[in-house]
Amino acid sequence: MINYLFTVYTFEYFLMILVRVASFVFVAPFFGMNNTPGRVKIGLSAFLALILYQAILPKESLEYSGTIEFAIIVLREGITGLLIGFAANICNSIIVFSGKVIDMEIGLAMANIYDPMTRTQSGLTGTMYNYFIMLLLIITDMHHYILRALIDTYQLIPVNGTVFDWEHLMSTMSMYIADLMVIGFRIVLPVFATSMILNCILGVMAKVAPQMNMFAVGMQLKVLIGFSVLFVTIILLPDISNFIFREMKRMIVSVVEGMY
């Protein structure tokens, strides 16, 4: 039987669950996109918090001596949810970084568009890849994994039980920066290799036929060949998404390990 009766102590416990869940939904990929209506985020957070309130047993009353300690508990729960969501969301910057490098290689670095997901100016290739990765995230049910990861954290990190290991969290970010460069350049490699070969050919042609304007010809060839390579390598998007989703899982696990 489901019991929805609240006392003063259990209502405080429910509020702490709501704070962590709402903080997670605010920054998590797919759930926290800027083009998602705010009412949907609030409703989803409240619904998940209500379900978790019924699932988490036993419910212990929060122990605090004043308003300041209660505010500290709220901040601790909010930071916990933010870090879990941020660990998954930050992995999207890998595809954005790769898109910027690809745009520089094929000559589209200045052709930026407004991305409603991030509310910033983004490159064409990065925006296209980002939407593809988000679509694959939904198709592969990766958003369910991220949501289950949040729910499972209550078994390891109970309410008001977060202990921040800042050294571990800093090492996690250092690991992510290294993985960002490695995975990003793996994605860029087909376009980068093709562009390097094209530059070598243009350099030879500039010596053989100096009367030709290689700058004007090269810009057009880079765009044409760059789009051709992107069209051919579009079948590699599932493998690219595997790299990014695997990195999401590593980041979420590593961040959670640094909070208990």
Question: Is residue 3 a part of any domain in this protein?
Answer: no
In this predicted structure, what is the pLDDT of residue 117? 63
Question: Is residue 81 a part of any domain in this protein?
Answer: yes
Question: Is residue 201 a part of any domain in this protein?
Answer: yes
Q: How many CB atoms lie within 10 A of CB 68?
A: 8
Q: What is the CA radius of gyration of the chain?
A: 24
Question: Is residue 206 a part of any domain in this protein?
Answer: yes
Question: Is residue 145 a part of any domain in this protein?
Answer: yes
Q: How many CB atoms lie within 10 A of CB 229?
A: 19
Distances (CA, A) of 183 to 113, 117, 222, 246: 24, 22, 23, 11
Question: Is residue 241 a part of any domain in this protein?
Answer: yes
| This prediction's pTM | 0.85
- pLDDT tens per residue across span 64-80: 777 888 888 899 999 99
Please state, in angstroms and rounded to a whole number, the distance separating the CA atoms of residues 129 and 6.
46
Positive or negative, the CA dihedral 150, 153, 154, 155 is positive
- 140's torsion region: left (phi>0), alpha (psi -120 to 50) or beta? alpha
In this predicted structure, what is the pLDDT of residue 207? 78
Question: Is residue 2 a part of any domain in this protein?
Answer: no
Question: Is residue 1 a part of any domain in this protein?
Answer: no
Please state, in angstroms and rounded to a whole number, the distance separating the CA atoms of residues 91 and 9.
38
Which residue in 29, 133, 137 sits closest to 87, CA to CA? 29
The whole-angstrom distance between residue 192's C-alpha and the CA centroid of its chain comes to: 24
In this predicted structure, what is the pLDDT of residue 66? 78
Report mean pLDDT in 10-residue bins for the chain, 260 residues: 63 87 90 82 89 74 79 90 90 87 81 67 81 88 89 86 88 90 89 87 79 73 86 87 90 90
Q: What are phi and psi of 112, to 5 degrees?
A: -100, 150
In this predicted structure, what is the pLDDT of residue 5? 64
Give the domain range for residue 157: 8-257
18 within 8 A of 24, measured Cβ to Cβ: no
Please state, in angstroms and rounded to a whole number, the distance separating the CA atoms of residues 12 and 235.
50
Q: What are phi and psi of 164, to 5 degrees?
A: -80, 120
Please state, in angstroms and rounded to a whole number, the distance separating the CA atoms of residues 206 and 89.
46
Into how many domains does the chain fold? 1
The whole-angstrom distance between residue 258's C-alpha and the CA centroid of its chain comes to: 19
In this predicted structure, what is the pLDDT of residue 57? 60
